[in-house]
């Protein structure tokens, strides 16, 4: 059914630079609005798994990613409408600085690109540490750089004193005419716990940090200076959003081609939690049910037709993953029996023979004949590639886009490994090749968003259905 609510209230929280406080302010604002009775739908520009976990925790709704490199304009708008069902306001957290993107002379992959696609007013967060009058120059430059960006308010973060706040506010409003709607004090309580890939995921913090909930409460308290009524007014002033006919989030009458509903086990715990919610929606629309399981805490995988092991932090939990030998054996034995297994980045590391981190080597599942080593070199960026053979995710010749973000590398990969992907952009596992295959197991450093890899969910579900059909046939055969 075509979407019709083109006047949905929405706003975008952008910043003048990275580490200006977008996630803490966005999380706090979402929490306040939710507690006031609003049904807040959160979004994140870019391909971040961790910031979205904070959004989801405080709103009770899955945060969605919007990326202008991986997704075209139609997909961005359709995803927004799809996510907004049942919500009364959309809050989008930007990425990096407002205009930072893939290229120097275009806004592809930037927060600004999403603001224009969604005809969305912007609230600009300024890192005001040690500057007062200069904040006006920043706001004036950001507002005039691209006149199609509608900056409707400013939040000053990391304010040192009331005098500091008053001077900066006066300068901004005098020189730019844009209202300052919040002034956040410089406090240690506003700092969320970080590690090498960014913030600690909310799911891990809630389970393993006794002070985590208090930290979220402190953030909510710290943003009380923000004029929430003004925020709502700005959101309600958003222009009309173009209507689009859904072509991705639609039910498949054909399903996946078998009579039995396909069940896919999804690794989900403190070690593995990097997933895009849109993929699960597409699984469901194809008649596929996902069943969560924990490589850390469960003894074996559930009764399923395939496995999906996403990214995360297996290196942080390597000792616990090693100790859970029954789970490792369960995954290995099913993979050796050709149960389709799809793994991304952290999942790839878990499927290797061993994982070395901080000088210690831990045994892993052993399906992939290689070792995962945490290296000092950070690999981060977009990926573009082509499938070079038929595989559990699709046919040879399929083009896709994705991203990679890791410090690990594979070593000791056996002779002539079979790769499913050739990358035209990105690093992959080895020399631009990615997606190592062993039987019906496919594991890659590339992370995929379902709207950038055509029919990924349906193709994987079909591979799982074929496995189920083969298994049922073999049981019936004499």
Give the single-character DSSP code of 193. Answer: P
Single residue among 179, 202, 236 that ends a domain in this structure: 236
Residues labelled catalytic: 345
The answer as to whether 287 is a domain residue is: yes
Nearest 5°: the CA angle 390, 392, 397 is 35
The Cα-based distances of 311 to 48, 49, 54, 136, 464 in angstroms read: 12, 9, 17, 41, 20
The answer as to whether 279 is a domain residue is: yes
Give the single-character DSSP code of 3. Answer: -
The answer as to whether 307 is a domain residue is: yes
181 and 279 part of one domain: no
Structurally, the chain folds into a number of domains equal to 2
470 and 428 part of one domain: yes
180 and 300 part of one domain: no
The answer as to whether 352 is a domain residue is: yes
pLDDT tens for the chain, residues 1 to 478: 445 578 899 999 999 999 899 999 999 999 999 999 999 999 999 998 989 999 999 999 999 999 999 999 999 999 999 999 999 999 999 999 999 999 999 999 999 999 999 999 999 999 999 999 999 999 999 999 999 999 999 999 999 999 999 999 999 999 999 999 999 998 765 556 554 545 777 767 666 666 777 777 777 887 889 999 999 999 999 999 999 999 899 887 555 555 578 999 999 999 999 999 999 999 999 899 999 999 999 999 999 999 999 999 999 999 999 999 999 999 999 999 999 999 999 999 999 999 999 899 999 999 999 999 998 778 999 999 999 999 999 999 999 999 999 889 999 997 789 999 999 999 999 999 999 999 999 999 999 999 988 799 999 999 999 998 777 545 544 4
SS3 161: coil
pTM for this prediction: 0.92
278 and 220 part of one domain: no
315 and 413 part of one domain: yes
The answer as to whether 256 is a domain residue is: no
284 and 219 part of one domain: no
The answer as to whether 1 is a domain residue is: no
For the chain, how many residues are written? 478
The answer as to whether 3 is a domain residue is: no
313 and 461 part of one domain: yes
CB 424 within 8 A of CB 386: yes
Single residue among 236, 252, 270 that ends a domain in this structure: 236
368 and 304 part of one domain: yes
114 and 20 part of one domain: yes
CATH number for the domain harbouring residue 29: 3.40.50.300
162 and 270 part of one domain: no
User: What residue has token string 């002379």?
Assistant: 105
The answer as to whether 242 is a domain residue is: no
Range of the domain at 331: 262-476
CATH number for the domain harbouring residue 380: 3.40.50.880
316 and 457 part of one domain: yes
119 and 179 part of one domain: yes
Question: On the CB side of 443, how many CA atoms lie within 13 Å of its CA?
Answer: 28
Q: What is the DSSP string of 235-270?
A: HHT--PPPP---SSS---TTTTSSSSPEEEEEE-SS
Single residue among 236, 254, 270 that ends a domain in this structure: 236
């Amino acid at each position: 059914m075509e979407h019709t609510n083109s006047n949905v209230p929405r706003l975008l929280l952008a910043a003048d630079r990275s580490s200006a406080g977008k996630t803490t302010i966005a999380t706090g604002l979402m929490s306040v609005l939710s507690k006031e009775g609003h049904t807040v739908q959160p979004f994140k520009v870019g391909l971040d798994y961790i910031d979205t976990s904070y959004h989801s925790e405080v709103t009770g709704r899955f945060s969605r990613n919007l990326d202008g490199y991986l997704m075209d304009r139609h997909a961005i708008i359709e995803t927004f409408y799809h996510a907004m069902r049942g919500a009364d306001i959309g809050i989008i957290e930007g990425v990096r600085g407002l205009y930072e993107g893939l290229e120097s002379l275009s806004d592809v992959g930037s927060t600004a690109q999403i603001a224009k696609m969604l005809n969305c007013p912007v609230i600009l967060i300024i890192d005001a540490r040690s500057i007062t009058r200069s904040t006006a120059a920043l706001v004036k430059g950001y507002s005039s750089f691209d006149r199609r960006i509608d900056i409707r308010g400013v939040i000053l973060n990391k304010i040192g004193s009331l005098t500091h706040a008053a001077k900066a506010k006066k300068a901004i409003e005098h020189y730019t005419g844009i209202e300052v709607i919040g002034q956040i004090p410089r406090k240690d309580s506003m700092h969320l716990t970080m590690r090498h890939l960014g913030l600690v995921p909310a799911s891990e913090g809630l389970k393993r940090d006794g002070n985590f909930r208090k930290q979220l409460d402190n953030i909510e308290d710290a943003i009380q200076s923000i004029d929430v009524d003004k925020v709502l007014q700005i959101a309600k002033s958003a222009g009309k959003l173009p209507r689009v006919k859904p072509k991705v989030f639609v039910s498949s009458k054909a399903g996946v081609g078998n009579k039995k509903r396909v069940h896919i086990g999804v690794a989900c715990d403190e070690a593995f939690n990097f997933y895009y919610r849109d993929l699960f929606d597409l699984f469901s629309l194809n008649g596929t049910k996902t069943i969560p399981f924990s490589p850390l805490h469960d003894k074996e995988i559930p009764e399923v037709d395939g496995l999906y092991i996403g990214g995360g932090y297996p290196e942080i939990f390597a000792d616990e993953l090693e100790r859970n030998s029954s789970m490792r054996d369960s995954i290995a034995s099913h993979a050796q029996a050709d149960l389709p297994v799809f793994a991304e980045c952290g999942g790839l590391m878990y499927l290797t023979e061993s994982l070395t981190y901080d000088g210690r080597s831990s045994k892993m599942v052993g399906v992939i004949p290689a070792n995962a080593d945490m290296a000092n070199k950070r690999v981060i960026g977009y990926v573009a590639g082509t499938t070079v053979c038929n595989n559990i995710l699709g046919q040879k010749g399929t083009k896709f886009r994705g991203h990679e973000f890791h410090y690990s590398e594979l070593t000791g990969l056996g002779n002539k490994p079979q790769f499913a992907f050739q990358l035209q952009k990105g690093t992959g596992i080895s020399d631009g090749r990615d997606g190592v295959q062993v039987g019906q197991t496919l594991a890659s450093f590339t992370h995929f968003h379902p709207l950038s890899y055509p029919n990924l969910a349906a193709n994987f579900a079909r591979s799982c259905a074929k496995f189920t059909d083969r298994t049922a046939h073999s049981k019936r055969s004499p």
